[in-house]
Structure 1
Amino acid sequence: MTNVITADQRLALLQALVACNNDANQNILQTCLAQYGHRISMDLVRNHLLWLEEQGLVKISRLDQNNTAFFVATITQRGLDVANGLSVVDGVNKPNPQY
């Protein structure tokens, strides 16, 4: 069950980036995830973003804020393809068909 939830949270992050004009900071993304039914910690948001970056689905800009990195994520073309169901990546849910 954990894998199903994790994969859905990752898809929700990609979809949130699309909805935010392709980039957003970690706070906005956490709020968007809550709107999609995933109320999770900032640490988990950041872990998902790092995983998505490793897969080439997002690029992360790290801004220094009080000696702590603050993430701003930008979706890549590959990430757009996954968010739109045109490509599949293990560990990310496929979106439901649009009707």
Structure 2
Amino acid sequence: MSDYADLVGQDIRLQLLRLLAQDSDYAVNDTVLGQGLRLLGHDLSNDRVRAELGWLEEVGLVTVQPVGPYRVAQLTQRGLDVAQGRARVEGVRRPGPGEL
């Protein structure tokens, strides 16, 4: 993967965490997350959204449960810490000071 593709992937993962952090119960389905990413400039296929959620689940930042045709991601405490810049995980862009 190119350096640019790595940077984009890191930003996508941060934005997914930040979208989940905005929800009252920290849980959102993959379709809504994809729509949120589009608003932020990342037009991804649903398969790519699911793949990124799978990556985030593997590193303990979210849990993912199938609900009908959807995958519902829920932020973990560690995921919230990363979204808010209190913790770092390689592969997720760190939010800048103006983003907190």
TM-score, scaled to structure 1: 0.91
Unaligned 5+ segments in structure 1 are none
> Which structure features the higher share of helix residues?
2
Which of 11, 16, 33 aligns to 2:14? It is 11
Unaligned 5+ segments in structure 2 are none
> Which structure features the higher share of strand residues?
1
Paired residue secondary structure (1:86) = coil
Paired residue secondary structure (2:37) = helix
Provide the aligned length of Structure 1 versus Structure 2.
95
User: Counterpart of 1:58?
Assistant: 62
Paired AA for residue 89 in structure 1 = V
Stretches of 4+ aligned residues off by more than 2 angstroms: none
TM-score, scaled to structure 2: 0.90
Paired AA for residue 15 in structure 1 = R
CA RMSD of aligned residues (A): 1.1
1:1-99 aligned within 5 A: 1-21=4-24, 22-65=26-69, 70-98=70-98
What's the offset of the Cα at 1:62?
A: 1.1
